[in-house]
Chains A and B, each alone.
Chain A
């Protein structure tokens, strides 16, 4: 029997699917990070104890880390530890107050409406799927790496072993079989929710209202619900509920891709990129450079 959160997907009328990551109920367990690696058969990056890293030792999204739980321990002074006086003169209250802002956030590919990576890709390895997600096909990728700087979020990374790019597929294979992505499935507190995009945005907006009603004035959505023209990368397929400024979580306040700066990015164009990929690399390359 399937869990209530599991939904059936029918390819014929597949609509946009996305992630809503609610940081206010994240418990920092990293189950998403491990479930992602297990399902997608990604290797461990290996890690070392990191200075100033709180409980985060894997550091960032990479070619082998498609979900990453960020721990931000201290708000003030751009992430430095507060200086407590030595000896017996300890301001315990100040230390406690400083800790109220320890935050956890499970970061992931944003599956942008205007995906810079997709616009930059010359080979058509990056495609937009029937679920309106952005997927990188490793067998088409030639490892040029153009997508890496084209991502305003620093999501896409090249695998150091073979040079090809890799990132979250929003579990495209699971979606095709009607399963929710591995990370959402593993999340014990529903901090990661998966579902039809429009429905998810409505859920998230209700959640923001509820939190504000409870006095959490700072709650807001990052990447969804913005007015046209104000949207981050045209709106994010994987968006977040945050309570602190985006920079606190390592997220940009603005998110234009360099390749899109001088053009009007269009989802249609991005989709065309995928279609035209079959017609040849030259055409796609031209598209990626915005010479249409």
Chain B
């Protein structure tokens, strides 16, 4: 989540869901929290019962809207215009929390003279290279400071930057103007940047009436400041856009202006897409980061030493100054005794990043015959991934495919029953992919942790033995690794060193040889190499090779050898601060529940108000104290002033609450860390029936990732064949691609068929009847669905024109007792430049009554007839990443 990382320093939700009960106002946008996170929504209901105003902004009136005090309809994909309008309102009406903004954000910081804004350049920031569609970010830096990561951002579309904001950045001696009047100070730049986002503009772009806009704006301002706090909740309704990271940035800027970050009942609750998705970025399944958000070394820097890597990745000031400690401990965890100071702890043997290996790039490479085999674990791309038809065709181009799942999912059966087989494009006898379907143990059949949406690790014990041959992922990876290691045991090739030297000595337990999960947990937590004792926290890690740690941010979850994540004591909920429940599970980092909580106190260390007391300076004890683990060096006085040449945490003053940032401040303006601009700007979704009202020549995010290929055709902007805005959404009754819910009759009967929500006016115009069939079409395919004709989704009046929207749940596929068409057959591959996430929450389409006349993806079946189907023997194109434009 670089949107949060580039603003606050860490890419995770800033607070915890239980804390929402203390919010005075909650704005939910980009999420239908009541439906997709119903258990967490309990705390929103508690807040409402305590008198909080709950606002839901969404294209579709769903269950969340019904429970909110105020529902505001919005055109899908126009969120930055709305939030930008709120920023403008807060600045122009002086509704911001001035003491917070001046002291805790970079609002006073002066920017370079040669920075140019989108308002100067028709939608582009300075530094744009139209050839590569990337930015040189050097002009975005602070005046008289040295920018971070210059030259890096141009070459990589990479998640690696999300936690490395300000890497290599020097902010000493940067001028500030605490009056916020300097024309080049961040505050004034921000003000000019959003000056055109008036309520009238918001109405024309988003379809939100002036009255609704002002009601929301007034509620936010009235419920922020010393005495009150407002919380924001979002989910994939914000992330799945070509400017998704910048939508989240807009909200983060707004929350900083309102002074709501690091305080109880405030913050930004990033609601994750499914169980442990936070965990899968902390200990990543991503291609470009190492555990704990350490950067993956790159192939074009071959010959790089550990020292070079640390210099480039870490930084002098703030918490990332300890970068070397974390990476050395990681190398010790992986390579054990073989990792020595003499061999750079094996750093040179780490795999190197050669380019974009995100999901889409990999599947396109597979489509071209460049991928031999694939493991799918907990993923069903044949239904759940954007442009599912392309995903299935890519699966058909593999030599082998391992699918580990609870059920025989569509990704394992595409060779016999996919729409491509139905259309004759794929013939079962021609598909060469050998599919290995391996039964997986469910969550009750294995022990381990979930890391939930609020960074909380919760351990669960095994309740049952898995049936038959079903095994845990841990078992599978452990035994696979053992076999691979045995295969390479006698190899003398240098490149096999990391496999031969990998420490892999987990004890096995039980009849099935399940690895001891607590032994794995110990390695993640970190231990003293000499004594084998668990380390208590990452502060005990060393850079000399005397400690090993598999994921530094998880360090401490086995503190004292006790499984802290297994704790389930809510504590005294009625005591002051009782809702924090620090002995329920364990949250990273160091069991802290609200991040940046130093900001809950004023610069002198006193609570901003008694009502919002959380963490404060105790003068007598000479320490920070409160209800939570302080997110600050515990004995650093509030009046400590960092010397200009201070290093590491010495460079952070006593009133700098954002300790991960080199200047200790929240970033209204992000001089580094983002690839598509230091400030968010309204761009249209890349498939939109509307022109960009603010930047007509530019239309969409100029740095967005597009894959221009015949298999991935786009709906042209303004094409009258696609006048309707589509958005995808989730139902409470189903889980993601449906493997775990469509196969459970109790759940499947609750939402038995694929449907589309369509407004009565559009339905009448197209002759669509409630409960009848309708077809939704794009350049990629046609999907049929039952029509739910309802005013819960409603037409919007935009700039004198009525725009209709349809909402599509995406849980169905072609197998099982409750089959249905797949919404993801409609979308195109596209990507946010920072994270490669596709734009599935806003795209253009058309609708008609009736059923489709041919298989869903048949319209693309002729596109690649010149290409063979099946694995290729020749090498993939050498310059693969260059296809990304």
Contact = CB atoms under 8 A, between A and B. Distances in A.
A94 to B, nearest CB: 8
Contacts of A102: 61, 66, 792
Contact of A38 (B746, B755, B795, B801): B746
B38 A31 contact: yes
Given A47-B749, A73-B790, A86-B765, A92 B795 contact: yes
Given A29-B34, A57-B752, A84 B792 contact: no
Interface stretch (B39-47, B193-201, B381-389): B39-47
A51 interface: yes
B765 A188 contact: no
A29 B732 contact: yes
Nearest to B797: A92
B485 interface: no
A78 interface: no
Contact of A82 (B34, B45, B49, B791): B791
Contacts of A104: 63, 66
Given A27-B34, A28-B732, A49-B786, A84 B749 contact: no
A55 B751 contact: yes
Given A49-B752, A86-B761, A37 B746 contact: yes
A112 to B, nearest CB: 28
B839 to A, nearest CB: 26
B568 A189 contact: no
Contacts of B760: 81-84, 95
Given A30-B750, A92-B795, A44 B38 contact: no
B749 A51 contact: no
B682 interface: no
Nearest to A42: B746
A55 B65 CA distance: 14
Contacts of A28: 34, 63, 66, 732
Given A29-B34, A43-B745, A98-B791, A84 B759 contact: yes
B790 A81 contact: yes
Contacts of B35: 27, 29
Given A34-B747, A48-B753, A73 B792 contact: yes
Interface string A94-115: 0110110011100000000000
Nearest to B66: A102
A260 interface: no
Interface string B724-747: 000000011100000000000111
B467 interface: no
Interface in B762-805: 764-765, 770-771, 786, 788-792, 794-797, 801-802
A25 interface: yes
A55 B732 CA distance: 10
A57 B748 CA distance: 10
A84 B752 contact: no
Contacts of A98: 791
Interface residues of A, number: 48
A51 B770 contact: yes
Given A31-B38, A44-B748, A57-B751, A90 B61 contact: no
B73 interface: yes
B579 to A, nearest CB: 14
Given A30-B732, A44-B745, A58 B750 contact: yes
A104 B750 CA distance: 14
B12 to A, nearest CB: 23
A46 interface: yes
Interface in A183-197: 188-190
Nearest to B817: A46
A275 to B, nearest CB: 37
A61 to B, nearest CB: 14
A88 B802 contact: yes
B67 interface: yes
Residue from the set A27, A48, A57, A188 with the largest chain B CB neighbour count within 10 Å: A27
A103 to B, nearest CB: 8
Contacts of A27: 34-35, 38, 41, 45, 63, 67
Residue from the set B42, B71, B731 with the largest chain A CB neighbour count within 10 Å: B42
A229 interface: no
A16 B445 CA distance: 39
Nearest to A103: B66
A87 interface: yes
Contact of B764 (A55, A84, A95): A84
Contact of A188 (B39, B71, B794): B39
Interface in B557-596: 568-569
Contact of A189 (B42, B771, B792, B796): B42
A160 interface: no
B732 A99 contact: no
Contact of B746 (A29, A34, A73, A90): A34
A1 interface: yes
Nearest to B762: A86
A22 to B, nearest CB: 11
Interface string A29-69: 11101100110000111111111111101100000000000
A52 B797 CA distance: 26
Contact of A44 (B34, B746, B790): B746
B610 to A, nearest CB: 25
A198 B49 CA distance: 23
Contacts of A34: 746-747, 750
A33 B71 CA distance: 27
A1 B567 CA distance: 12
B792 A86 contact: no
Given A84-B764, A102-B61, A29 B749 contact: no
A34 B744 CA distance: 10
Residue from the set B761, B789, B791, B801 with the largest chain A CB neighbour count within 10 Å: B791
Interface of A: 1, 25, 27-31, 33-34, 37-38, 43-55, 57-58, 73-74, 81-88, 90, 92, 95-96, 98-99, 102-104, 188-190
30 contacts: A25-B49, A27-B63, A27-B67, A29-B34, A31-B38, A51-B771, A54-B788, A54-B790, A57-B752, A58-B749, A81-B770, A81-B791, A84-B759, A86-B761, A86-B764, A88-B802, A90-B761, A90-B794, A90-B797, A90-B802, A92-B795, A96-B73, A96-B791, A99-B791, A102-B792, A103-B66, A104-B63, A188-B38, A189-B41, A189-B45
Interface of B: 34-35, 38-39, 41-42, 45, 49, 61, 63, 65-67, 71, 73, 568-569, 731-733, 745-753, 755, 759-761, 764-765, 770-771, 786, 788-792, 794-797, 801-802
Please list the 8 inter-chain residue pairs (A to B) with the smallest Cβ-Cβ separation, ordered nearest first: A51-B771, A44-B745, A95-B791, A29-B38, A49-B753, A86-B764, A84-B760, A49-B786
Given A27-B63, A51-B770, A81-B770, 19 more contacts: A28-B66, A28-B732, A29-B38, A34-B747, A47-B749, A47-B750, A49-B753, A52-B770, A58-B750, A81-B789, A88-B802, A92-B794, A92-B795, A92-B797, A95-B791, A96-B61, A98-B791, A99-B65, A102-B792
